Structure 1
Amino acid sequence: MATTFADQLRSLPDEALGALIQLRPDLVVPVPADISALAVRAQSRNSVARCLDGLDEFTLAILDAARLSRAADTALTSVDAILELAAGVPEDDVRLAVDRLRVRFLLHGPPEGLQVVGAVDEVTSPYPAGLGRPADFLDPRAAVLCADRARLRRTVLAAPPGARAVLDRLAAGPPIGALTRESVAEPVRWLVEQHVLVPVSETGRTPHPDGDLVELPREVGMLLRRDTGPLGMLRPLPPIPDGPARDPKAADSAGAGQTMEAVRATEALLESLAAEPAAVLRTGGLGVRDLKRLAKAAGIEEAGAALLVETAYAAGLLGESESGQSPSQDVFLPTVAYDLWRATGIAHRWATLARAWLAMTRQPGLVGRRDERDRPINALAPDAERAGAPLARREVLTALADLTAGSAPPVDDLLTLLAWQAPRRARGRENVHRDALTGAALLGVTGLGALTSYARLLATAPEADGSDPLGVHPEDAHADAVRALDRLLPAPVDHILVQADLSVVVPGPPEPELAGELDVLAEPESAGGASVFRVTPASIRRALDVGYQAADLHELFRRRSRTAVPQTLTYLIDDAARRHGGLRSGSAGSYLRSDDEALLAEVVADKRLSTLDMRRIAPTVLVSPRPVARLLGALREAGYAPVAEDAGGTTVLTRPKARRAPTRTPRIAEPSGPVLTGPRLAGVVEQLRRGDLATRAARRAPVTVRAAQGQAVPGLTAVQQHTQAMAVLQQAVRDKVRVWVGYVDSHGATLSRLVRPVSLSAGYLRAEDERGESLHTFALHRITAAVTED
Structure 2
Amino acid sequence: MTTLADHLRALPDEALAALFRLRPDLVVPVPTDLSALAVRAQSRVSVARALDGLDEFTLRILDAARLTRAGDDAETSVEAIVTLVLGDTTGNRRRAERAAARTAIDRLRALFLLYGPEDALRVTAGVDEVCSPYPAGLGRPAAELDPETAALVADPARLRRTLLAAPPPARAILDRLAAGPPVGTLPAAPAPGTEPVSPASWLVEQKLLVPVPETGGGPARPAAVELPREIGLLLRRDAGPLGPLRAQPPTVTGPEREPKAVDSAGAGQAMEAVRHTEALLEQLAGEPAPLLRSGGLGVRDLRRLAKASGLDEPTAALLLEVAYAAGLLGEADLPGAATTRTGADQQVLPAAGYEGWRDGSLAHRWEHLARAWLTMTRQVGLVGQRDDRDRVITLLSPEAERAGAPAVRRAVLGVLDDLNPGTAPAPDDVVGLLAWRAPRRSLGREAGQREVLTEAALLGVTGLGALTSYGKLLLAQWAAGDTRLTEAGDDPLGVRPDADGAAGGGSPAVRALDALLPAPVDHFLVQADLTVVVPGPPEPGLAAELAVVAEPESAGGASVHRVTAASVRRALDAGYAGEDLQALFRRRSRTPVPQGLTYLIDDIARRHGGLRVGSAGAYLRSDDEALLTEVLADRRLAVMGLRRLAPTVLTTPHLVGRLLTALREAGYAPVSEDASGATVLTRVKVRRAPARGSVANRVTDPLATPRLTTPRLLGIVEQVRRGDAAARAARRAPTTVRGAGRPGGTGPALPSAHAHSQALAVLQQAVRDKALVWVGYVDAHGATASRLVRPVSIGAGYLRAEDERTEMLHTFALHRITAAVLDE
Alignment-derived partner of residue 89 in structure 2: none
Alpha-carbon offset, residue 144 of structure 1: 2.1
Runs of 5+ in structure 2 lacking a partner? Answer: 87-93, 191-195, 339-343, 502-506, 734-823
The 1:334/1:508 distance shift into structure 2, 3 A limit, reads same
The 1:673/1:568 distance shift into structure 2, 3 A limit, reads same
Contact 2:404 2:701 in 1 (8 A): no
The 1:648/1:564 distance shift into structure 2, 3 A limit, reads same
Amino acid at match of 2:395: A
Alignment-derived partner of residue 470 in structure 2: 454
Alpha-carbon offset, residue 326 of structure 1: 6.0
Alignment-derived partner of residue 490 in structure 2: 470
Alignment-derived partner of residue 761 in structure 1: none
Match of 1:688 among 708, 716, 720: 720
Does structure 1 residue 200 correspond to structure 2 residue 212? yes
Contact 1:470 1:680 in 2 (8 A): no
Alignment-derived partner of residue 126 in structure 1: 133
Alignment-derived partner of residue 296 in structure 1: 307
Contact 1:582 1:642 in 2 (8 A): yes
The 1:672/1:457 distance shift into structure 2, 3 A limit, reads farther
Q: Secondary structure at the match of 2:3?
A: helix
**Alignment of structure 1 residues 174-253 onto 2, 5 Å:** 174-181=181-188, 185-202=197-214, 211-253=222-264
Structure 2 CA distance for aligned equivalents of residues 389 and 325 of structure 1: 38
The 1:684/1:474 distance shift into structure 2, 3 A limit, reads farther
Q: Secondary structure at the match of 1:177?
A: strand
Amino acid at match of 1:202: E
**Alignment of structure 1 residues 115-514 onto 2, 5 Å:** 115-181=122-188, 185-202=197-214, 211-324=222-335, 329-460=345-476, 461-462=479-480, 464=483, 468=488, 470=490, 474-476=497-499, 479-514=507-542
Alpha-carbon offset, residue 627 of structure 1: 4.9
Q: Secondary structure at the match of 1:321?
A: strand
Q: Secondary structure at the match of 1:584?
A: strand
Report Cα offsets for 1:314-339 as digits up to 9, x if no partner: 22222222333765632221111222
Report Cα offsets for 1:19-59 as digits up to 9, x if no partner: 32232222222222222222211100111112212211111
The 1:63/1:223 distance shift into structure 2, 3 A limit, reads same
Contact 2:380 2:400 in 1 (8 A): yes
Q: Secondary structure at the match of 1:320?
A: strand
Amino acid at match of 2:147: P
Q: Secondary structure at the match of 2:483?
A: coil
Amino acid at match of 2:682: T
Structure 2 CA distance for aligned equivalents of residues 22 and 627 of structure 1: 73
* Cα root mean square deviation, aligned: 2.7
Alpha-carbon offset, residue 643 of structure 1: 2.4
Alpha-carbon offset, residue 122 of structure 1: 0.8
Max radius of gyration: which structure? 2
Alpha-carbon offset, residue 682 of structure 1: 4.6
Does structure 1 residue 50 correspond to structure 2 residue 49? yes
Match of 1:101 among 89, 99, 108: 108
Report Cα offsets for 1:714-767 as digits up to 9, x if no partner: xxxxxxxxxxxxxxxxxxxxxxxxxxxxxxxxxxxxxxxxxxxxxxxxxxxxxx
Alpha-carbon offset, residue 61 of structure 1: 0.4
Alpha-carbon offset, residue 201 of structure 1: 1.6
Q: Secondary structure at the match of 1:555?
A: helix
Q: Secondary structure at the match of 1:201?
A: strand
Contact 1:469 1:680 in 2 (8 A): no
Q: Secondary structure at the match of 1:154?
A: helix
Deviation larger for 606-615 or 400-409 = 606-615
TM-score of the superposed pair, with normalisation by structure 2: 0.79
Alpha-carbon offset, residue 191 of structure 1: 2.7
Runs of 5+ in structure 1 lacking a partner? Answer: 702-789
The 1:686/1:543 distance shift into structure 2, 3 A limit, reads farther
Alignment-derived partner of residue 528 in structure 1: 556
Structure 1 CA distance for aligned equivalents of residues 31 and 652 of structure 2: 79
The 1:680/1:256 distance shift into structure 2, 3 A limit, reads farther
Alpha-carbon offset, residue 585 of structure 1: 3.3
Match of 2:701 among 667, 670, 675: 670
Alpha-carbon offset, residue 612 of structure 1: 4.5
Contact 1:25 1:673 in 2 (8 A): no
Report Cα offsets for 1:385-433 as digits up to 9, x if no partner: 3333332222222222222322222222222122111111222222222
Alpha-carbon offset, residue 515 of structure 1: 1.0
Contact 2:30 2:716 in 1 (8 A): yes
Contact 2:487 2:707 in 1 (8 A): no
Amino acid at match of 1:687: Q
Q: Secondary structure at the match of 1:357?
A: helix
TM-score of the superposed pair, with normalisation by structure 1: 0.83
The 1:250/1:683 distance shift into structure 2, 3 A limit, reads farther
Does structure 1 residue 622 correspond to structure 2 residue 622? no
Contact 1:464 1:677 in 2 (8 A): no
Q: Secondary structure at the match of 1:86?
A: helix
Amino acid at match of 1:157: L
Amino acid at match of 2:630: E
Alpha-carbon offset, residue 527 of structure 1: 1.1
Structure 2 CA distance for aligned equivalents of residues 132 and 352 of structure 1: 53
Amino acid at match of 1:86: V
The 1:74/1:590 distance shift into structure 2, 3 A limit, reads closer
Alpha-carbon offset, residue 383 of structure 1: 3.0
Amino acid at match of 2:20: I
Structure 1 CA distance for aligned equivalents of residues 32 and 317 of structure 2: 47
Q: Secondary structure at the match of 2:321?
A: helix
Alpha-carbon offset, residue 69 of structure 1: 1.0
The 1:73/1:439 distance shift into structure 2, 3 A limit, reads closer
Alpha-carbon offset, residue 542 of structure 1: 1.2
**Alignment of structure 1 residues 579-728 onto 2, 5 Å:** 579-588=607-616, 590-610=618-638, 612-624=640-652, 626-646=654-674, 648-666=676-694, 669-673=700-704, 675-678=706-709, 680-699=712-731
Report Cα offsets for 1:141-187 as digits up to 9, x if no partner: 22222223333333323333222222211111111121113699243
